[in-house]
Amino acid sequence: MSAREPVAVVGVGQTKHVAARRDVSIAGLVREAARRALDDAGLGWADVDAVVIGKAPDFFEGVMMPELYLADALGAVGKPMLRVHTAGSVGGSTALVAANLVAARVHRTVLTLAFEKQSESNAMWGLSLPIPFQQPLLAGAGGFFAPHVRAYMRRSGAPDTVGSLVAYKDRRNALKNPYAHLHEHDITLEKVQSSPMLWDPIRYSETCPSSDGACAMVLTDRAGASRAPHPPAWVHGGAMRSEPTLFAGKDFVSPQAGKDCAADVYRRAGIADPRREIDAVEMYVPFSWYEPMWLENLGFAAEGEGWKLTESGVTELDGDLPVNPSGGVLSTNPIGASGMIRFAEAALQVRGLAGAHQVDGARKALGHAYGGGSQFFSMWLVGSEPPAT
Amino acid sequence: MSATPASEVNPAPEVLRAPLVVEFPFTRSLGPVQSAFLTGLRERTVLGVRTTGGRVLVPPVEYDPETAEEIRDLVEVGAAGTVTTWAWNPEPRRGQPLATPFAWVLVRLDGTDTPLLHALDAPGPDAVRTGMRVRVRWAAERAGAITDIACFEPYEDHDEGDPAPAAPGTEERIATGPRSHSGEFEDPVAGIVAPARLDYTYTPGRAQARFIDALAERRTTGERCPSCRKVYVPPRGACPTCGIATSEQVEVGPRGTVTTFCIVNIKAKNLDIEVPYVYAHIALDGAGLALHGRIGGIPYDQVRMGLRVEPVWTEGGRHPDHYRPSGEPDADYDTYKELL
């Protein structure tokens, strides 16, 4: 018996992400995604051994420990249920905690789910409480990240149009994804480039929307995978890393924790050359410029060279390294779920079930999430074949 | 053994503290079951839900706790019930159901299998007991919220199953057995506002208090890590990289270098700053990392990385109001690229 049980993704479910789901409670929202994941896996509630749930800070919706009241909606009564919390990366780390429970043979089949109902929430308020004596933050979330984008542009010498290319690509990809929030049928590059500067150098069209949505996956062992009605995705490696929000020497453009996390995933998955060996990437890009930044941080390009992959079309859906074929966070952002959507979309790609945004022949895909002040990272690499044991 | 309290021998330094109130009116979409329940309360009708196994739950839930199946079999239950347990609340707080001392009670309404938490208006703890009969006292103004039940009140001598007398002069219904209910009402309540409020006392701690004291003299101070020698501004009392305490005080600035920035074009709520303005990361001379500030005294579109700046204080301000160009030549990129 090998040390770790191979982990298979046999079910994926998402809600249609929208600005506001006023027709459902939070319980109803998570239920919808969970039910779809179980249907995909051909399983019922009784087949699930444990539930691992994630969401962004409780302050967002103001429901303290929502997992307690969601137990019955997720069929978790009488089973282990646990909550993971790592800010915006939580969807990814939640999936990894679930995967590790299967890998360690603690449970055979685990339902994992992440959600956010941003319409009932106020993320900006939740993140900028007026702490006494402290100088108030002078800008919103975009204002926090925009100076780092400028630093990247200075460091790499990237032309200032690269961000608009990413947004134009991701919004067009979203048109092929029925679950994506933004479906901008009349999108053009000119529209992106003429949208207002919110936090110069970040334009309105280069920012993510605010979404209500949930994403769920069913993870299981080899025996479970052999019974699955549809092809599974196999987890070849996963890792998490964290670092302080602020410290002397922190590199906001390419955080060390992100580099270390990627290196760990590649080592576990036996990836020597990510640029050649990985067929599709779902990375967490809340502002368009983070695509070239993460391409470098994740080892797909040398430092200062990431933007060239974007500019030359390598990251397009039909390019050599498609990035965010689903439309990405730029098209869909239920914050707590966004990381899990990346992981789930990577799984859909290697299962060959991504529909109109399928990358032809995708056999290995990377799912990536980050959160906080670029301080939490979680990633997994999934493949169409079981991992070598 | 000394009779003198230690605090009088060696008085503790005054600890800096301030109130921090966090409050927000969150909204909730109710979904079909909670919508029916709260709309029902508005209409003085208490609805529960029947599980697959035949139990009746109040408040109703959307999913069966035993089978996980979706359940939508709503029933109308009694407005009278039996206290299953209770606790006396001698000092009601802001926002609680009653302003005078009352009992928190779990009430199993007639026809249900699970108890509902609410308040019981009783003269004192001696008047409350497990097993006592109580009934709903409806609020005069009802909007579709749990507070439409103002509280419960004693209702002795009316056992479960007794014929339900209508209260004189009202349309009050005290139903007994659960009856199927469509859950449909005119003008249903689809959402509620749930105000949340947390009252804290915030204590910034010694490192930040020293920093604030220095700012009062218009000096900016940091603390140097004894291991990596980096100077943290504002100080946090510890180096997050080395994980050890910092105490050596180091004055930094007052001048510094803009390492990077953005131009803010959208007006933020609660910020009285005209847009556009420049929000910058500023590495004060001697600091190991940049802090954040606004740049003024120069057109926003002329701000650049490497710009040398100095703080501008306003009367009574706790922090520099903004930073302006110092007039020095721009810093070379190499001098601040490690601070980006």
Give the confidence band of B162 by pLDDT, cuts at 50, 70, 90. low
| Confidence category of residue B95, pLDDT binned at 50, 70, 90 | confident
Q: Is B65 an interface residue toward A (CB < 8 Å)? A: yes
Q: At what angle do helices A290-297 and A256-269 cross, to 10 degrees?
A: 60
B64–A72 CB contact, under 8 Å: yes
pLDDT tens-digit series, residues B21-63: 988 889 999 999 999 999 999 999 999 999 999 999 999 999 9
* Inter-chain CB proximity B262 and A25 less than 8 Å: no
- Alpha-carbon distance of A292 to B330, in angstroms, equals 28
More confident residue, B299 or A372: B299
- What residues in B contact A150, CB-CB < 8 Å? 260-262, 305
**One-letter amino acid of A312:** S
Instruction: For residue B2, name the pLDDT band (cuts at 50, 70, 90).
Output: very low
Asked if residue A186 lies in contact with residue A213, where contact means CB atoms within 8 angstroms, the answer is no
pLDDT, one tens digit per residue, over A126-156 is 777 778 888 776 677 778 899 999 999 999 9
For chain A, say whether B139 makes contact (Cβ under 8 Å): no
Task: Report whether A269 contacts A318 (CB < 8 A).
Answer: no
What are the beta bridge partners of residue B191? B29
- Closest chain B residue to A201 measured between Cα atoms? B262
Mutual angle of helices A335-351 and A90-103, in 10-degree steps: 50
In this prediction, residue B13 carries a pLDDT of 62
- Average pLDDT of the residues of chain A: 95
Tell me if chain A has a CB within 8 Å of the CB of B19.
Answer: yes
Q: Would you call A147 and B288 a contact, using CB atoms and an 8 Å cutoff?
A: no
Q: Take residue A137 and report the two structure tokens written for it.
A: 């933050």
B 150-169: CB under 8 A from A:
none
Non-local (6+) Cβ contacts of B129 within 8 A are: B83, B86
B230 and A CB contact within 8 Å: yes
d(CA B47, CA B58): 7
Chain A CA closest to residue B201: A132
Q: What sign does the CA torsion over A205, A207, A211, A214 have?
A: positive
A150·B273 Cβ contact <8 A: no
pLDDT band, very low/low/confident/very high, at B177 (cuts 50, 70, 90): low
- Number of Cβ within a 10 Å radius of residue A209: 18
Contacts of A133 in chain B (CB under 8 A): 16, 18, 202, 204, 208, 212, 318
Mean pLDDT of chain B: 90
List CB contacts (< 8 A) between B62 and chain A.
25, 27-28, 31, 72-73
Q: Between chains, do B66 and A135 touch, taking CB under 8 Å as contact?
A: no
In chain B, what residues touch A45 (CB-CB under 8 Å)?
Answer: 67-69
Say yes or no to pLDDT of B169 above 60.
Answer: no
Domains in chain A with CATH codes: 8-122+209-383 (3.40.47.10)
Q: Is A370 helix (H, G, I), strand (E, B) or coil?
A: strand
pLDDT band at A300 (very low <50, low <70, confident <90, very high): very high
Q: How many CB pairs under 8 A join A and B?
A: 176
Indicate yes or no: CB of A249 within 8 angstroms of CB of B241.
yes
Q: Which of A25, A74, A251 is the best substitution to test chain B (most B C-beta atoms within 10 A)?
A: A25
Of A27, A31, A132, the CB nearest to B202: A132
**What's the whole-number mean pLDDT along residues A186-198?**
97
- Tell me which residue in B33, B319, B340 faces A253 most closely, judged by beta carbons: B340
Question: Nearest CA to CA, how far is B154 from chain A (Å)?
Answer: 31
Interface probe, candidates A29, A31, A135, A287, chain B, greatest B C-beta count within 10 A: A135
pLDDT over 70 at B325, yes or no: yes
Question: 């529209």: which residue's tokens?
Answer: A191
Q: What's the pLDDT tens digit per position in B102-157?
A: 999 999 999 999 999 999 999 999 999 999 999 999 999 999 999 999 999 999 87
Assess whether the previous peptide bond of B204 is cis (omega < 30° from 0). Answer: no
In this predicted structure, the answer to whether residue A111 has a pLDDT above a threshold of 90 is yes
Chain B interface, mutation test: which of A117, A150, A206, A254, most B Cβ atoms within 10 Å? A150
Q: B315: burial class by Cβ within 10 Å (0-12, 13-18, 19+)?
A: exposed
Indicate the pLDDT class of residue A291, thresholds 50, 70 and 90.
Answer: very high
Name which of B27, B263, B276 is nearest A120 (Cβ-Cβ): B27
Pick A151's closest partner by Cβ from B232, B271, B340: B340
CA dihedral A209, A121, A40, A368 (to 10 degrees): 60
Enumerate the domain spans of chain B: 28-194, 206-339
What's the confidence (pLDDT) of residue B317? 86
Per-residue model confidence (pLDDT) at position B163: 52
Min Cα–Cα distance to chain A from B99, Å: 25
SS3 letters for chain B?
CCCCCHHHHCCCCCCCCEEEEEEEEEEEECHHHHHHHHHHHHCCCEEEEECCCCCEECCCCCECCCCCCECCCEEEECCEEEEEEEEEECCCCCCCCCCCCEEEEEEEECCCCCCEEEEECCCCHHHCCCCCEEEEEECCCCCCCHHHEEEEEECCCCCCCCCCCCCCCCCCCCCCCCEECCCCCCCCCCEEEEEEEEEEEECCCHHHHHHHHHHHCCCEEEEECCCCCCEECCCCCECCCCCCECCEEEEECCCEEEEEEEEECCCCCCCCCCCCEEEEEEEECCCCCCEEEEECCCCHHHCCCCCEEEEECCCCCCCCCEEEECCCCCCCHHHHHHHC
Nearest to B179 by CA among B268, B74, B22: B74
| Closest-CA residue of chain B to A147 | B261
User: Which residues in chain B (298-317) have CB-CB distances under 8 A to chain A?
Assistant: 305
Q: What is the DSSP string of A232-272?
A: PEEEEEEEEEE--SS-TT--SSS-HHHHHHHHHHHHHHT-S
- Whether chain A has a CB inside 8 Å of the CB on B275: the answer is no
Between B7 and A169, the higher pLDDT residue: A169
B319 close contact with A: CB closer than 8 A? yes
pLDDT at A62: 85
| pLDDT tens for each residue of A239-270 | 999 999 889 999 999 999 999 999 999 999 99
Interface with A, mutate which of B262, B294, B333 (most A CBs under 10 A) = B262
- Mean pLDDT lowest for which of A41-50, A107-116, A312-321, B8-17? B8-17
Radius of gyration of chain A (CA): 19
List pLDDT tens digits, range A75-93: 999 999 999 999 899 999 9
B193 vs A: CB within 8 A = no
Kindly report each contact of residues B83-92 with a partner whose C-beta sits within 8 Å and lies 24 or more positions away, as own/partner.
B83/B107, B83/B120, B83/B128, B83/B129, B83/B130, B83/B131, B83/B132, B83/B133, B83/B134, B84/B108, B84/B115, B84/B130, B85/B115, B85/B130, B86/B120, B86/B128, B86/B129, B86/B130, B88/B124, B88/B125, B88/B128, B89/B119
- Please, which pLDDT band fits residue B160 given cuts at 50, 70 and 90? low
Q: Which helix (H) or strand (E) holds A197?
A: strand A197-200
Q: What is the per-residue pLDDT for A60?
A: 87
Q: What is the pLDDT of residue B6?
A: 45
Closest CA–CA distance from residue B259 to any residue of chain A (Å): 8
Instruction: Find chain A residues with C-beta within 8 A of B64's C-beta.
Output: 72
CB–CB contact B20 A131 (8 Å): yes
Chain A residues lying within 8 Å of B199, measured CB to CB = none
Tokens of A347: 């799984």
* Interface contact flag, A151 B265, Cβ < 8 Å: no
